[in-house]
Structure 1
Amino acid sequence: MAVTPLTTTPEITPVQLSAASVAKKKLSSPWASLAAVVIAVLWTLPTFGLLLSSFRPELSIKRTGWWTFFTDPELTLDNYRAVFDSESGVNLADFFVNSLVICIPAVLIPVSLAALAAYAFAWIDFRGKNILFLAIFALQIVPLQVTLIPLLTIFVKIDISGTFWPLWLAHSTFALPLAIYLLHNFMKEVPAGLIEAARMDGAGHVAIFFRVMMPLMVPALAAFGIFQFLWVWNDLLVALVFAGGGNEVAPITYQLANLTGTRGTAWHLLASGTFVSIIVPVTVFLLLQRYFVRGLLAGSVKG
């Protein structure tokens, strides 16, 4: 009579148990939690001080620090009224709208083009693909500053200087190499069997891209979109070069730089204007945070 061998699970040695318990204690250590809280407080403290300063009267800001608010609380909305008042010479409302007009196309254009290019590099075979992808990857090491003058010369020759087009094209051009590289790496992690199944059902490249890839790429697209939006919104160098020196297309960072240079003692306007400028990027990050985390983790683990 044959005896069927029993399947046994490998025994866990006391050494392994000890190592696992030590690792768990390290991860759940109260000191680690305390350090995280301290870092978070130190990171948030300047923003909190800026928020209080933006609501304090001008004389209080010039005479005392923001921490004196707790002993002598005094709040006012005059600072925000001043930065949005056209008669004050600041009028951040127009520059705020300009930043939105600049950021939205400067995010959608590179994301759209990079998604199409990444799919081509990942799933379409054509001559010179590897060399071209290597060249695009190498463009990431080209400093931004060395391209400003050649691009400005081109924009002046084709007579689009002083409009939004130079800002859109410049930001899109600078973002494309990194976007293609990141989205290509994400697409390569998609199982080939999924693509083959779609092809067996008669789907072409267009159908595969829009019906199969696009739903899977939402986290990666959102992650890069957040990066690009924050970069464009906080940019000053590209705006100084390509805005043409006119307020019609200048972003909010351009006007804040002017306030810093011409109104160095108007701290109440700088505080309120700066806090206005950070509202949108903070809101975008908080609303899309879950996509941001998923996009960063996408493609990092196989299986």
Structure 2
Amino acid sequence: MSEAKLSLSKLRRSPLTILVHLSVLIIVVLWTLPTAGLLISSFRDKDQLAVSGWWTALSASEQNLIGRTDDPDTQVLENGVYVLKGSIGENGEDVDVRMFGWTSKAPTEHFPGDIALMRKGQTLTVSATGQYIMTSPEPFTGSRGKRVFFTAVIPPKFSLDNYREVLTAEGIGQSFINSLTVTIPATVIPILIAAFAAYALSWMRMPGRPLLIALVVGLLVVPLQMSLIPLLRLYNDIGAFFGVGAKTYLGIWLAHTGFGLPLAIYLLRNYISNLPKEIIESARVDGATDFEIFVRIVLPLSFPALASFSIFQFLWVWNDLLVATVFLGNGENELVLTGRLRELLGSRGGNWEILTASAFVSIAVPLAVFFSLQRYLVRGLLAGSVK
């Protein structure tokens, strides 16, 4: 009887389980889809990227192009008229022409095979494969061929041009080093300070400890943007005396440390306070000092929480642009990687197609950090988020 009830309960839970799994699958797909689109776009030809979405990457696309006839010195005289022959395709290759025109005002006026009447009695005919014949009763003049506007169906193109443009940009190597110089200390310093503070707020008796904990929690909701100007003015006031200016690496390290400490202390304090009380008391009975307990017992046991916060802090600092711009500057020798990639776009947003490649160039290092520490992420967050 009990087995029958158990089987019935499993059957009743089955639709709900399927619904949960389906919901998780949908969320994962929706979350991953933009990243997949960005990756595909980063390898596409920039002309195709401008006229069609990434989901059409494997299909041909229509593009409005401009070709040129051969130079006038290649003309030949046939039956009393001067003739230019060739292909309007790139490097003389065949193209699938749908429409063509000889002026920018009517670039799609004629279909392949039509005879387009031009000025001064000239004619132009373009075949479906891009082969053209241009005739003129008078000799062709000029140093360059005539422009031919046409609409063609272009097969999908993939290349590394976007990545090559990003990786070979002037100053990209220096900006990469600048980002590492900013990120590594700005990740290590707050972790060290927060670990000491979290231990003190968890296991050391001191007056006003609940008030300090409440202050740390309250600092979590302070908007970063609200504190930038006061902090920058403070740096400028004391910089001349202590040598800690706003436009130095030390200044930006301290800024990132201050912005990251509330979350770090909150997570580490919740984790450390949940460590077995018996271990701490046994160490004190054996005569260990607080510093020895912290170094030999608490730090090794808190590694999952330290790793989880280090991932968040590293990602946040590496991808930061606002704080780096305010506290480090926009000089050629001070630009971080995000600032350099922004400069590649120009003041009017030109070359926007390289944003796709820039995104994956910038996330290469954070991905390496995440995958090396991700096994500690969930364990550290769950232990530090509940009491």
Tell me, yes or no, if structure 1 residue 172 matches structure 2 residue 252. Answer: no
Quote the offset at 1:129 in angstroms. Answer: 2.5
Question: Which residue in 2 is equivalent to 1:79?
Answer: 162
Count of residue correspondences: 287
Find the residue that maps to 2:353 and give its secondary structure.
helix
For structure 1, list consecutive stretches of 5 or more residues without a partner in the other structure: 1-10
Alignment of 1:141-156 (within 5 A): 141-156=221-236
Question: Which residue in 2 is equivalent to 1:28?
Answer: 17
Tell me, yes or no, if structure 1 residue 133 matches structure 2 residue 218. Answer: no
Tell me, yes or no, if structure 1 residue 46 matches structure 2 residue 60. Answer: no
The structure showing larger relative contact order (alpha-carbon pairs under 8 Å, at least 6 residues apart) is 1
Residues 92 and 255 of structure 1 are in contact (CA less than 8 Å); yes or no, is this contact kept in structure 2? Answer: yes
Instruction: Write the distance in 2 (CA, Å) between the matches of 1:19 and 1:232.
Output: 52
Q: Provide closer, same or farther for how the CA distance between residues 50 and 92 of structure 1 changes in structure 2, counting only shifts above 3 A.
A: farther
> Which of 47, 52, 56 pairs up with 1:59?
47
Alignment of 1:70-109 (within 5 A): 70-71=58-59, 72-86=155-169, 89=170, 91-109=171-189
Quote the offset at 1:96 in angstroms. Answer: 2.2
Residues 106 and 169 of structure 1 are in contact (CA less than 8 Å); yes or no, is this contact kept in structure 2? Answer: yes
Quote the offset at 1:63 in angstroms. Answer: 3.1
Residues 337 and 362 of structure 2 are in contact (CA less than 8 Å); yes or no, is this contact kept in structure 1? Answer: yes
- Aligned-partner residue type, residue 173 of structure 1: G
> Which of 117, 137, 140 pairs up with 2:197?
117
Find the residue that maps to 1:70 and give its secondary structure.
coil
Q: Between the two proteins, what is the percent identity of the paired residues? A: 48
Question: Which residue in 2 is equivalent to 1:237?
Answer: 322
Quote the offset at 1:14 in angstroms. Answer: 8.5
1:236-255 residue CA offsets vs partner (Å, 9 max, x unmatched): 22122112222323222222
Instruction: Write the distance in 2 (CA, Å) between the matches of 1:48 and 1:129.
Output: 48
1:194-251 residue CA offsets vs partner (Å, 9 max, x unmatched): 1111112221111111111011101111111111111112222212211222232322
Find the residue that maps to 1:256 and give its secondary structure.
helix
Question: Which residue in 2 is equivalent to 1:8?
Answer: none
Q: Provide closer, same or farther for how the CA distance between residues 290 and 120 of structure 1 changes in structure 2, counting only shifts above 3 A.
A: same
Instruction: Write the distance in 2 (CA, Å) between the matches of 1:156 and 1:166.
Output: 10
Question: Which residue in 2 is equivalent to 1:215?
Answer: 300
Instruction: Write the distance in 1 (CA, Å) between the matches of 2:15 and 2:282.
Output: 45
Q: Provide closer, same or farther for how the CA distance between residues 150 and 25 of structure 1 changes in structure 2, counting only shifts above 3 A.
A: same
Greater per-residue strand proportion:
2
Residues 267 and 385 of structure 2 are in contact (CA less than 8 Å); yes or no, is this contact kept in structure 1? Answer: no
Quote the offset at 1:300 in angstroms. Answer: 5.6
Q: Provide closer, same or farther for how the CA distance between residues 299 and 58 of structure 1 changes in structure 2, counting only shifts above 3 A.
A: closer
Residues 103 and 232 of structure 1 are in contact (CA less than 8 Å); yes or no, is this contact kept in structure 2? Answer: yes
Quote the offset at 1:19 in angstroms. Answer: 8.9
Residues 269 and 384 of structure 2 are in contact (CA less than 8 Å); yes or no, is this contact kept in structure 1? Answer: no
Instruction: Write the distance in 2 (CA, Å) between the matches of 1:23 and 1:111.
Output: 48
Quote the offset at 1:80 in angstroms. Answer: 1.6
Residues 57 and 268 of structure 1 are in contact (CA less than 8 Å); yes or no, is this contact kept in structure 2? Answer: no
Greater per-residue helix proportion:
1
Question: Which residue in 1 is equivalent to 2:82?
Answer: none
Larger radius of gyration: 2
- Aligned-partner residue type, residue 282 of structure 1: L
Find the residue that maps to 1:262 and give its secondary structure.
coil
Quote the offset at 1:262 in angstroms. Answer: 2.3
Tell me, yes or no, if structure 1 residue 283 matches structure 2 residue 272. Answer: no
Instruction: Write the distance in 1 (CA, Å) between the matches of 2:8 and 2:312.
Output: 38
Instruction: Write the distance in 1 (CA, Å) between the matches of 2:328 and 2:9.
Output: 58
1:253-293 residue CA offsets vs partner (Å, 9 max, x unmatched): 22233344525231332221122112222332222211001
Quote the offset at 1:60 in angstroms. Answer: 2.4
Instruction: Write the distance in 2 (CA, Å) between the matches of 1:296 and 1:12.
Output: 39
- Aligned-partner residue type, residue 28 of structure 2: A
Question: Which residue in 2 is equivalent to 1:5?
Answer: none
Instruction: Write the distance in 1 (CA, Å) between the matches of 2:225 and 2:274.
Output: 34
Instruction: Write the distance in 2 (CA, Å) between the matches of 1:102 and 1:27.
Output: 48
Q: Provide closer, same or farther for how the CA distance between residues 73 and 33 of structure 1 changes in structure 2, counting only shifts above 3 A.
A: farther
For structure 2, list consecutive stretches of 5 or more residues without a partner in the other structure: 60-154
- Aligned-partner residue type, residue 152 of structure 1: L
**Given the two structures, how large is their TM-score scaled by the length of structure 2?**
0.67
Quote the offset at 1:69 in angstroms. Answer: 2.5
**Given the two structures, how large is their TM-score scaled by the length of structure 1?**
0.85
